[in-house]
Amino acid sequence: MGCKVTYIPLGELAKFESGGTPSKKEERYWNGTIPWISAKTLVGDAVCKGDLFITKQGLDAGGKLAPKGSLLLLTRGSGLFKRIPLAIAEKDVAYNQDIKCIEATAEGISNRYLFYTLKALEPAISAMLETTGIGAGKLATDRLKALRIPVLDEAARLRVTYIADCINSKLSLNTKLNGYLEELARAVYVSAMQEHADIASLCDLAEFNPETYSPKENWSAVSYIDTSALMLNDLAGLQHFNPAEEKLPTRARRKVSNGDILYSTVRPNQNHYGLLYSPEPHTLASTAFAVIRPNDTIMSPLVYLALTDARITKTLQQLAETSTSTIPSIRPVDLERIAVLVPSDEYGSEIADQIGTTFKQIDCNKRENRKLAAFRDALLPKLMSGEIDVSKIDLTQLNSHLT
């Protein structure tokens, strides 16, 4: 027998606030310290940074601030046709007019409980989706407020929130651990380059854009990586398509495989790059990326670290700023000719092996996160509907399994 549940309209449990965008013609409003979140950067379960930042003046001149712990929900944009972007603000952040900030107002209802409930109700939210005059997706505020939210009794709410928090904590721990592991690998690389470095052009170490997808290949499923999906080397917003039934994005033409490095040639200051370990079968990347395939897969982590070294990143950003393109971009020839530091021949294999071991652990943690996220998303609807009696779950044992 499950838990008793009452259904209450979301509008009776929470308040909604719309975001705003300061005038981009006013330089004093931008390049400040307040992260500004848009549809592009509303990726993953938590958000604390964006591609752009506004100043206090920008906030006062049309910006809106979402307090730490509040929820950010995308309510307008083409991305809604693939997923419902929803995240918890890990710090105070500004956000644009396509996003709604949601905060719980009912006694005994926490923002986290609402977050997990809305995650469980994603199919119902998707069913509300409307289309604007320009073909973008839209979630009407009045329909969201009318959405009936399952409310368990207080004890069950606390237990359900705790269960979901345990899973999310493990996801967050793995993500933070991966950050530390990459810092460790980078420290090994920097130390090695101080003693055993050679200089090589990137084109001598790798192929560029080696494979292009053709619709004649008749793939039944495609995983697609664009710059919003690849936020700082984390495929949080990976999209999935069935080419037989859906039209692929026009930019989905770069075929990628294990060991490939993706580096965005558009707006390189936004640090859209990543090393792919064990990507899903039939994965395509946007043509906004250069696909860099090292001549030896074993060297992929080392080439990735060489390319994303701070000195190289600064050089590429400067090249992009001097380009004649409307949007700051790197010319493919400039990327191919960039000179990077690599280990001398006699030490190359040893250093590559050390760094490769670290990146294999990073990949293992990412694969575990994908499984945990899938488990959580399958479990939440059963928890929130009261189908599972959470009073019978040993929370101590659960937490020990996830630590």
Sign of dihedral through CA atoms 165, 169, 170, 175?
A: positive
Taking a C-beta distance cutoff of 8 angstroms, is the pair 222, 243 a contact? yes
The owner of tokens 């075929």 is 255
For residue 290, count CB atoms less than 10 angstroms from its CB and return exposed for 0-12, middle for 13-18, buried for 19 or more. buried
Which pLDDT score is estimated for 402? 58
Q: What is the pLDDT of residues 62-116, one digit of tens each?
A: 899 999 999 999 999 988 887 899 999 999 999 999 999 999 999 999 999 999 9
Residue type, 93: V
Which pLDDT score is estimated for 207? 94
Instruction: Measure the CA–CA gap between 320 and 37, rounded to whole angstroms.
Output: 23
> What does each C-alpha distance from 356 to 91, 146, 350, 362 come to in angstroms?
34, 51, 10, 10
Which pLDDT score is estimated for 218? 82
Taking a C-beta distance cutoff of 8 angstroms, is the pair 94, 19 a contact? yes
Which pLDDT score is estimated for 231? 60
Which pLDDT score is estimated for 399? 56
Which pLDDT score is estimated for 234? 62
Which pLDDT score is estimated for 345? 76
Question: Alpha helix (H) ranges present in 30-139?
Answer: 56-60, 111-120, 122-127
Spatial neighbors of 150 by CB under 8 A, at least 6 apart, are 5, 6, 7, 117, 120, 384, 385, 386
Ranges of the chain whose pLDDT falls below 70: 1-2, 231-237, 269-270, 324, 397-403
- Its pTM stands at 0.80
Which pLDDT score is estimated for 256? 92
For residue 142, count CB atoms less than 10 angstroms from its CB and return exposed for 0-12, middle for 13-18, buried for 19 or more. exposed
Rounded to 10 deg, the angle between the 111-120 and 345-384 helix axes is 90
Which pLDDT score is estimated for 314? 87
Which pLDDT score is estimated for 133? 85
- Residue 235 in 3-state DSSP? strand
- According to the 3-state scheme, what is the secondary structure of 201-215? EHHHHEEECCCECCH
Instruction: Measure the CA–CA gap between 18 and 268, rounded to whole angstroms.
Output: 30
Q: Which residues pair with 292 in a beta bridge?
A: 208, 261
Spatial neighbors of 54 by CB under 8 A, at least 6 apart, are 22, 29, 30, 32, 34, 36, 63, 94
Q: Which of 255, 6, 303, 259 is nearest to 150 (CA)?
A: 6
The contacts found for 206-210 with CB under 8 angstroms, 24 or more apart, are 206/261, 206/292, 206/293, 206/294, 206/295, 206/303, 207/292, 207/293, 207/295, 208/290, 208/291, 208/292, 208/293, 208/332, 208/335, 208/336, 209/254, 209/290, 209/291, 209/332, 210/255, 210/291, 210/293
Which pLDDT score is estimated for 222? 87
Sign of dihedral through CA atoms 377, 382, 388, 389?
A: positive
Spatial neighbors of 380 by CB under 8 A, at least 6 apart, are 116, 119, 120, 164
- Can you give the length of the chain in residues? 403
